[in-house]
Structure 1
Amino acid sequence: MDWYSSVFELIDMRSFSNLWYWIALAVFWSSASHWVLGVPYDMVLRARRSGGQAEIDLNDMARVNVNRLLHIAEVSGLWLVGITCFLLSGLAMLAVGYGIEFAQALLFLVLPMTVIGALSLSCARRIRAQAMTGEALWKQLGRQRTITQIIGTISIFVTALWGMYQNLTIGVLGG
């Protein structure tokens, strides 16, 4: 048995039956819900609990990340939307049209994260427009985190259902 066969036997390249895919999915959504607009959520909790310097740090970090995100959107927003739509439609065609399992797995990761990105941009615009600081800021970041967690939970559930369907179908058909 050669090295190439050994590696691919050890690491199943089918996405939905691969333990690494599920670990990556969990880490992906855990990170997405921890970093709200680039601000770690423990910083929000510390600012809410302690106030003082922790709140000043939260205001500064949120301001920097909101300005950075909105600057990127203003400078190259249309290009990013176009490229994102192109890549998502190509990925959807591979996933749905051709039934490629790897493309399906990527689509289950990327499509909900695109929604999170759009909601994050909307949240950043709201924070800047209302010049949120202090309690208003951490409430807004908390709402954004809750929305991210809801979308993540739904995404993981739908991905698990589709993954089980794929594994049962391929297992029954012997593919």
Structure 2
Amino acid sequence: MARPWELLLAEVAQQRWRRLVTHATFVSGSYSDAPDLVQEALVSAFAGRARFETADQAEAYVRRAIASRAVDASRRRTRERLALDRAGARTGAVVTDEDSLPGADVVRALASLTPRERACVVLRQMEDLSVAETAAALGLSEGAVKRYTSDAIKRLGALLGATSPRHDHETTTVEPTAGTEVRRGR
């Protein structure tokens, strides 16, 4: 007989895998790292002390674990890249088939953000978490979340060629009606 957590894990892993991988792709900025991030987050969520009553609770926890792991992995890669640069062993960029996948421009744009910016913008804009929820998930202050999100949205807009809606203001002349006194400022 399966234990309740095993049934919950099976449900989340089988029915929500694709959504979790998509989330991980946006957070990590990498198609190839996404499945590994989901797997690691599932293992840590169900091997730890976290207890869930519903699949929605479990999925929300796993999504936050994915974001935290993506930030950690990005930091680790940055340290490794700096070590390689110091050793003079840095090689050129590798072109992959990922560039031809749908949404590749968005993934590339997200990948150009810092790990915290990327995590904040994905959690706030794509996962629709509040500022407070995002701050709690990432261990940041609410002000930091607002700043990272704002900076990220500006950079994404520039990279993706998005423009903010413009409000062209028309000038309208207001004429006083008959019998109305017009007061002039001092």
The answer to whether TM tops 0.5 is no
Larger radius of gyration: 2
Structure whose residues are more often helix by fraction: 1
Structure 1 length normalisation: TM-score? Answer: 0.29
Structure 2 length normalisation: TM-score? Answer: 0.28
Structure number with the bigger relative contact order (C-alpha 8 A, sep ≥ 6) is 1
